[in-house]
Structure 1
Amino acid sequence: MKEETKYNIIKKLVDTNGNKQRAAISLGCTVRHINRLIKGYKEHGKEFFVHGNKGRKPVHTLDDSTKQLIVDLYRTKYEGSNLTHYSELLSKFEDINVSPSTIRNILAKSFILSPKAKKTTKKNLTNHLKELKKSAKTNKEINFIQNTLINIEDAHPRRSRAAYSGEILQMDASVHNWFGITKSHLHIAVDDATGTIVGAYFDAQETLNGYYNVLHQILTTYGIPYKFLTDRRTVFEYKQKKSPSIEEDTFTQFGYACKQLGIEIQTSSIAQAKGRVERMFQTLQSRLPIEFRLAGICTIEQANEFLNSYIKEFNDQFALQIDNIKSVFETQPDIEKINLILAVIAERKIDNGSCIKYKNEYYIPTNSHGIAVHYHKGISGLVINSFDNQLYISIKDQVYSLKLIPKHSISSKNFDFIETPKVPKKKYIPPMNHPWKQSSFNEYCKRQAHRQKLIA
């Protein structure tokens, strides 16, 4: 347009022998430059006003084949990744160094938006596609446009971060096709002050085991936090009304474990109240499946192993520097205490053989010297399955180890040569102040049941 304007003004000036001062004002230049333009017009005509770079591509312009490769890779190998992550992946695996803004422009021409595109951007593209759909002439074009139309989603509002690291940890689980065709649940805890993922664990369902593993990572790596913020669909502080036994009442067990550690639990039915962990899931859902696919991850065990290194790299890239933020994590408990606190418990009664049945196996209580302890039939106790899979039983606030009774004897004293037995090694038995005392736990359950009635 500038070239056309210059040509018309100079042509009119020469044809009418007009005022050079007025022409200079119109073009924003000097009279001396007007004389140069007049001379060029007389010698070369309209071609003089055409810029020398017209029709020539800049040196740094990507060729069409590279642009098409970027589009094809995003639709196949790196499908679903956000554009910043996609730029990193292209540089790391494909040796294509382009900025996220360049990728955005290339993909936009193929009607592909970032998973994190704003509402206005999605709305503008939707309106544009609707206009194109009206003017489309073939069914193929109509179907392509229809499949490209994007649904508009609302964003979560922001809120201030906590002042100190360890003050509030937002905890939740997300079900997603993280790898393979079967959905699984990723349990994570995010520090509200720094945005650091302090614990992450995959499980087939949203389970007590998943949250216990996250809490174990927090306790062994950082220490005891002040508060957990969860949502009420996975609340950990009341006894389920229809729970037939303590063993299935996993929520109360997590709440009691937190009580022993002095961790508060705050719940909310509003997802935006824990927006930090919700947005973290959005980021992980756009990144982790791509990373899993590239690493060949296809099982939960492989995924949990992969998380050990990936979460550290993720925090180094995205979390705030903790150097400038004070930490209020308390000192880590010793590993034996952690294993006992993060235990799954179940009520059992002594049968007429002085044993209890647990997971279709029979066990007999023994003391620290391996000597069997006998109780009358009907005496109840709490079976404690510790985090490191050691089995104990608490009877009248006395703790014993549980010894498995095999269905068949390992050897025969009549037909097998049996060496003189060695002195058995003294087995560790938790002290009297162990966390899962039957009386204190029962009292806790009663208080939680009473609190639930008041809420209802």
Structure 2
Amino acid sequence: MLQGYIKSGKKFFLHGNKGKKPATTISHDIRRQVIDLYRTKYYDANFEHYTELLKKNEGICISHSSVMNILESEYILSPKATKAKRRRIKQKLKAKKETAKTKKELASIQANLVAIDDAHSRRPRCAYFGELQQMDATPYEWVPGQIWHLHLAIDDASGVVTGARFETQETLNGYYHVFDQILTDYGIPYKFLTDRRTVFTYKKKGALSDDKDTYTQFAYACKQLGVELESSSVPQAKGRIERLNQTLQSRLLVEFRIAGVTDINKANEFLHSYIKEFNEKFALPLYGIKSVFETQPSKKKINLTLAVLTERTVDAGHAIQFEKKFYKMIDHKGVQIHYQKGTKVMLIKAFDKYLFACVNDKDIHVPEEIPTHERKSKDLDADYKKPKPRKPYIPPMNHPWRRSAFKKFVHSQPHRIEQDLKSA
């Protein structure tokens, strides 16, 4: 011992394992998998059953007590948790809530408090693949200093993520991109379930134009495809999409950092491959689950259906105004068509951002922007050439843009009926 002290000094008296993790320590990756799998795939299992499922289905062999400790460290309780345990956890969270320093931390604590009050699953999954798609958009700091809204859709029966799209705000465009992914990859679903507190709720801040009424625009697109649309503010009804948000928030930050994702365009590109891997890992197997998705529409039909419709009026210069620009109407031969001042026009902004105009519910034209100045002068420029008429693509008459049908649909919406009564 004396020789050891002479050779190593005071370090000789320290245990050789000091500072080393025990061999039985569960790795961070395993802990993360245990949490994520419970949130997305096995959330309605008690912890003893979940421990068995981890070993049987996922090849993760850890003890029941370890599973319980890991989940409870995230304030996830078993459906069989006692009232006493729930009270203890709630007291810890309330104490932590009082010392929360950021809104993000406060929101996370509040979500955990709500989850503890609702530890039991309130309803079973739907019977069929495609029967119900839960949709939502969540703001989050996905990369340092940038908050984006992740628009998501998840199939209720299988847990398959059917669509995902980042936007800087929660927008109709974001939900249309998710809808496009569903229609392209799977087909036409039976029903959407959305959050009543999102853009699907009509904002009653003055009389908004039709193109700003997100709910009506999305609902009209659903109507053209025969898809039901339902909104709910009840947390239990949207449990799967909310758990999906939590899981992706815990995983994508690390994945983005590893992949070098720093902007929203790269993030959306990354989602294409990542969601496929995510579904393989967390979604239920589709065999044995009957699909009720209807056949995928053509790309042309999707483009014309996921549109923004708004009414415009022809002015004295035979033009219409949209987004601070003036447009003349061009027919299929590339010739300008003149309408009387006051003529009502249904202006359509298709999913690919191309514009169309429908007049009298039968005539379809392509709006062409009127420049504020000519590019060249026919009198002063020697190389001036008269522009040749451009023959645009005109959709067939089986389009969903008839003004009378759209206006009837708009005024049948409950929030618009209320607005009409107030303005009467």
TM-score by length of 1: 0.68
Give distance in 1, aligned partners of 2:382 and 2:268: 45
1:377 aligns with 2:341: yes
Q: Secondary structure at the match of 1:444?
A: helix
Contact residue 393 and residue 401 of structure 1 kept, 8 A: yes
Q: What residue in structure 2 maps to residue 357 of structure 1?
A: 321
Residue number among 415, 421, 439 corresponding to 2:381 in the alignment:
415
Give distance in 2, aligned partners of 1:347 and 1:215: 24
Q: What residue in structure 1 maps to residue 51 of structure 2?
A: none
Q: What residue in structure 2 maps to residue 404 of structure 1?
A: 369
After superposition, residues 341-352 of structure 1 pair within 5 angstroms as 341-352=305-316
* Structure 1 counterpart of 2:113, one-letter code: E
Deviation of the 1:325 alpha carbon: 1.2
* Structure 2 counterpart of 1:199, one-letter code: G
Deviation of the 1:326 alpha carbon: 1.1
Give distance in 1, aligned partners of 2:185 and 2:275: 13
Q: What residue in structure 2 maps to residue 436 of structure 1?
A: 401
Give the 3 Å change call, closer, same or farther, for CA 273–123 of structure 1 in structure 2: same
After superposition, residues 51-450 of structure 1 pair within 5 angstroms as 64-65=19-20, 114-115=73-74, 117-118=76-77, 153-155=113-115, 156=118, 157-158=120-121, 159-234=123-198, 236=200, 242-397=206-361, 398-413=363-378, 414-418=380-384, 426-449=391-414
Give distance in 1, aligned partners of 2:303 and 2:140: 30
Larger Rg, first or second structure (1 or 2): 1
Write the deviation string for residues 106-163 of structure 1: whole angstroms up to 9, x where unpaired.
Answer: xx8xx9975364376897789999xxxxxxxxxxxxxxxxxxxx88634343221111
Give distance in 1, aligned partners of 2:381 and 2:291: 65
Deviation of the 1:81 alpha carbon: 5.5
Counting matched residue pairs gives 356
The answer to which of 219-228 and 293-302 deviates more is 293-302
Q: Secondary structure at the match of 1:298?
A: coil
Give the 3 Å change call, closer, same or farther, for CA 269–154 of structure 1 in structure 2: closer
Give distance in 2, aligned partners of 1:101 and 1:452: 58
The answer to which of 443-452 and 157-166 deviates more is 443-452
* Structure 2 counterpart of 1:264, one-letter code: E
Deviation of the 1:412 alpha carbon: 3.0
Give distance in 2, aligned partners of 1:118 and 1:402: 58
Deviation of the 1:64 alpha carbon: 3.9
Deviation of the 1:65 alpha carbon: 4.1
Write the deviation string for residues 71-110 of structure 1: whole angstroms up to 9, x where unpaired.
Answer: 9x97xxx9x9666679xxxxxxxxxxx97959x97xx8xx
Q: Secondary structure at the match of 2:143?
A: coil
Give distance in 2, aligned partners of 1:339 and 1:128: 51
Contact residue 202 and residue 215 of structure 2 kept, 8 A: yes
**Superposition RMSD in Å:** 3.9
* Structure 2 counterpart of 1:444, one-letter code: F
TM-score by length of 2: 0.73
Give distance in 1, aligned partners of 2:226 and 2:274: 30
Contact residue 202 and residue 214 of structure 2 kept, 8 A: no
Give distance in 1, aligned partners of 2:377 and 2:416: 56
* Structure 1 counterpart of 2:404, one-letter code: S
Give distance in 1, aligned partners of 2:295 and 2:333: 33
Q: Secondary structure at the match of 1:324?
A: coil
Give the 3 Å change call, closer, same or farther, for CA 341–221 of structure 1 in structure 2: same
Give distance in 2, aligned partners of 1:312 and 1:344: 30
Write the deviation string for residues 178-233 of structure 1: whole angstroms up to 9, x where unpaired.
Answer: 22223221111100111000001111221111111110111111110001112222
* Structure 1 counterpart of 2:405, one-letter code: S
Give distance in 1, aligned partners of 2:90 and 2:131: 43
Contact residue 202 and residue 415 of structure 2 kept, 8 A: no
Q: Secondary structure at the match of 2:391?
A: coil
* Structure 2 counterpart of 1:229, one-letter code: L
* Structure 1 counterpart of 2:370, one-letter code: I
Write the deviation string for residues 237-281 of structure 1: whole angstroms up to 9, x where unpaired.
Answer: 879584421121111110111000000012222011121111111
Deviation of the 1:321 alpha carbon: 1.4
* Structure 2 counterpart of 1:306, one-letter code: F
Deviation of the 1:407 alpha carbon: 2.0
Give distance in 2, aligned partners of 1:125 and 1:215: 39
Write the deviation string for residues 311-361 of structure 1: whole angstroms up to 9, x where unpaired.
Answer: 011001111111221111101111111111111122221111111121222
Deviation of the 1:411 alpha carbon: 2.7
Give the 3 Å change call, closer, same or farther, for CA 363–425 of structure 1 in structure 2: closer
